[in-house]
Structure 1
Amino acid sequence: MTDGTALSLRNVGFRWPGRQSFRLTVPGFTLQRGETVLLLGESGSGKSTLLSLICGIIVPQEGQVEVDGTSLSSLRAGARDRFRAERIGVIFQQFNLLPYGSVRDNIRLPLRFAPDRRSRAGDAEAEAARLCTALGLAPELQGVPAGRLSVGQQQRVAVARALIGQPPLIVADEPTSALDARTQDAFLGLLFDQVRAAGSALLMVSHDDRLGARFDRVLRLDDIAQTERQAA
């Protein structure tokens, strides 16, 4: 079920400068609210550049990237940072948790920078506890420093942090790379349940095509983008 466009790229072009120039071009790509897409690509194929464009870390030299109806190019750098905190939940490959912060504090961290998202979350402590329970994190872990958790537990904290406040777009960068196949499947089941409950769109980037069965669409990067490398 979808409810509007979460992500749209139209005629996007971006070139990194330098002696070994790299250009990424995306003629068109859309992702609807409630939709799940797996984007496959090998290391060095341009996945990181695409994610940086989608998250507003960089802006295209050509075309438009829109998240939830807002063109990221229309925002200054500080405004893009605030917008990203409000409208995009990111699950990083290395999780990027605060190791000395508690599970509860890590999950609620995005709300400190996003007042609208904080409002959507309601009672932030109760919502953090709900997400912990839904993702299989025992109540006694909520006060434990994140650095003391197992890899699988840290991964679930990272998912809860991305989901709190129901951002319309969830971007996941190789979140299953450290897990075996059995643990991957269990993790994806929990992730999908919570993404659907939030009504968010999910774009997961990976090199592992075995994950594809659960997704609404499976695309390869070269299905939606062209890349060019050129020596200066």
Structure 2
Amino acid sequence: MSQIILVTGATAGFGRAITERLVREGHKVIATGRRQERLEALRADLGDNVLPVTLDMQDKAALRGLPSSLPEAWRAVDVLINNAGLALGVGRAQDSNPDDWETMITTNVSGVVELTRAFLPQMVERNSGYIITLGSTAGTYPYMGGNVYGATKAFIRQFSRNLRTDVLGTKIRVTNIEPGLCGGSEFSNVRLRDDAKAAAVYEGTTPLQPADIAETVSWLVCLPWHMNVNSLEIMPVCQASGGLAVDKTVG
């Protein structure tokens, strides 16, 4: 059954792959992102079942006003996919740039909260809807330099859990997808601000790819309404949690 699905961060990586997959499966996708030319290219590639919408996840007014700004035929959003997010830097907390921290919090936390709140009332009114958010294994397993990025993803995990509790008694579903090491996107390029260093992250590995995340989303969207997947942790075979670290130099 065709649904209206809103995908944030649709201009690259996971968001683009999700958009392509869902449109080819017959859905109508509202594709949002900051780079309008890429959104227009998506529509050129995929046709009129894509509605490109230029959107900055740090623009509170735009997020709050998005539902009413959509064309009438596109307003009844069945599935909201909170994909847009980023990491900046890999330094220890004491060496990090607080401006980078603010950008991550505003995008990964405030942006997701604002957009979810913007579309939730209409889902409750219809007694139907699905909110899927891209979290990360970084929200569960700490690592050196993960500090604020990992904290934003931990927030997303707990927000999703509480949101599901709040909509108990309705047919609204909520899922947090938590990928591990993923290649094939701009994530590490943005985080490290260095293409060579970004490429080195994946050397010798077979990481997850955007198509794997799109496959996961496609499966979730097709599940029956009575089945809720609370969280879904995904890692490539080359990755596992590393356990606790011990430093014997400090006594």
TM surpasses 0.5: no
TM (norm. structure 1) is: 0.34
Q: Give 1 or 2: higher strand fraction.
A: 1
| More contact order relative to length (CA 8 Å, sep ≥ 6) | 1
